[in-house]
Chains A and B, each alone.
Chain A
């Protein structure tokens, strides 16, 4: 384990070249026969899938098919929904996250989330990024400072905002706000980032920047992204999962899904014949 931490690249390369069931291939997220209900409505109808570390996985499918519902299971965000109930097992890093004694706050530090509409806090840019650290009770100014700067640098926002960190996060443009939200998530150092249509409210240039960012983040994080944009899915993801009416129709390497889908429904959807 320690070796991996010190020199991940080298170890990965070594493992990759030796066996396929290497450390890198053990699933980061694993679900077994997941079913979700909202009151009587069966929103997810038995989905099993496993997501590998340091990959980008895209969830696609027509509106209302359950992409958001499924994604929000991974950080237990559905817990707040009235009438929500769940059956099945979800493991993250090998741990069942719906077990009784699980600390939900700890889980969410490990599994960050970026939302559809940029939602910075009505606080300064600095305080937005520092928020996650402050609520953990971290007082070390130097550490907070460093983490804020490095997070803003990672999302490419540093040069744009370094002179007005005291300005309200709400004063930024939509695209900048979304990058601020990503920086805020990165600052807590999660290992998984969930993104629910993170670019659907943004202009093409901001979208391109975020796609570029996702591509880079893959080095360090496991990313699951919901998108309605087929080009986006094919550009940035390694794996694509196609959902339809609460079921996982097809889950495969993105290349295969887009060039050679196994199911007719998948093909119809990605070629725009329905949905």
Chain B
């Protein structure tokens, strides 16, 4: 009897695992088939080098660069906000804060990541942009600056929480060794603890970047929908994700070339996040070996 029970549980677990793998493979397959069809009509060279993205216009251009620049620009702004704040928080929580405070604040911070992103998007559009326009009157109503900043706030917990775990995992004996030699708390934090936790911190940054690149709602709402190859944070741009939303919600004919652009854009996005996740996985594995 017990044997049968175990057998059922084992099979159920295996089936769930297989379903997950099948779904993932299915997504990649569909993405690839549609993308291959797309690239049979548009050359990869044009896709990668053309500086305009106008698939929905009469004069069509299929250069991914404007969407890519929009994605990278908003993500860069987000990381510039999240990295210093997230790291400061993690170091404070791990090295300075009283235990009770740390226990209370960490889950609160993680709440930041669970606010629906549509709320963030509107916050960027109706609060942050008007506020920033007070300082920069030239700031457009849609812009990558507000979207990036708000996205940065959203991804703070990715950095603060995972980095804090890494810092906290550094053996107490290293802290004692450092204090014991006359180092201050600050010196110990920056010369011993942070370097010892560096791989965990890097992983947190990569995950945060990956999250920012894949973020859709905030940029779709607040950054605009104008593909533009620019580094100027004050003008409207469009990210890969925002473009995919735009086409999915629009009235583009299924199976048309215009429709397939979203798969070409999607596979570009997938490549980026896949590479980042692989990188973080590698680093994490190496880091585990180091402490074992």
Whether B286 sits at the interface, judged by CB under 8 Å, is no
Stretch touching chain B among A41-49, A85-93, A119-127, A219-227: A119-127
Interface size class of A (residues with CB under 8 A): 20 to 34
**Least Cβ–Cβ distance between A148 and chain B, in angstroms:** 14
Contact with A along B184-204 (1 / 0, CB 8 A): 100100011001100000000
Whether A58 sits at the interface, judged by CB under 8 Å, is no
**Least Cβ–Cβ distance between A130 and chain B, in angstroms:** 11
Contact with B along A111-129 (1 / 0, CB 8 A): 0110101011111000000
- The chain A residue with its CB closest to the CB of B188 is A135
Contacts A77-B176, A119-B174 known; A131 to B181 CB distance under 8 Å? yes
Q: Which of A82, A123, A132 contacts B182 (CB 8 A)?
A: A132
Q: Is the CB of A121 within 8 A of B173?
A: no
Whether A185 sits at the interface, judged by CB under 8 Å, is yes
Whether A146 sits at the interface, judged by CB under 8 Å, is no
- The chain B residue with its CB closest to the CB of A109 is B182
Q: Is the CB of A135 within 8 A of B182?
A: yes
Chain B residues lying within 8 Å of A121, measured Cβ to Cβ, are 174, 177-178, 192, 196
Q: Is the CB of A106 within 8 A of B177?
A: no
Q: How far is the CA of A107 from the CA of B187 in the complex (A)?
A: 16
Q: How far is the CA of A137 from the CA of B165 in the complex (A)?
A: 30
Q: Is the CB of A77 within 8 A of B195?
A: no
**Least Cβ–Cβ distance between B13 and chain A, in angstroms:** 38
Q: Is the CB of A132 within 8 A of B195?
A: no
Q: Which of A109, A117, A131 contacts B191 (CB 8 A)?
A: A131
Whether B179 sits at the interface, judged by CB under 8 Å, is yes
Q: How far is the CA of A24 from the CA of B97 in the complex (A)?
A: 44
**Pairs A-B, 5 closest by C-beta atoms:** A119-B173, A108-B182, A113-B180, A109-B182, A132-B181
Q: Could you give 13 example pairs across A and B, Cβ below 8 Å?
A: A112-B181, A113-B180, A115-B176, A117-B173, A119-B177, A121-B177, A121-B178, A123-B195, A131-B181, A131-B191, A134-B191, A135-B184, A184-B177
Could you tell me which A residues sit within 8 Å of B by CB distance? Answer: 75, 77, 80, 82, 105-109, 112-113, 115, 117, 119-123, 131-132, 134-136, 181, 184-185, 188
Q: A80-B179, A120-B177, A132-B183 are in contact. List 13 more A-B contacts (CB 8 A).
A: A77-B176, A77-B179, A77-B180, A105-B182, A107-B182, A109-B181, A119-B177, A122-B196, A131-B181, A131-B191, A135-B182, A135-B187, A184-B177
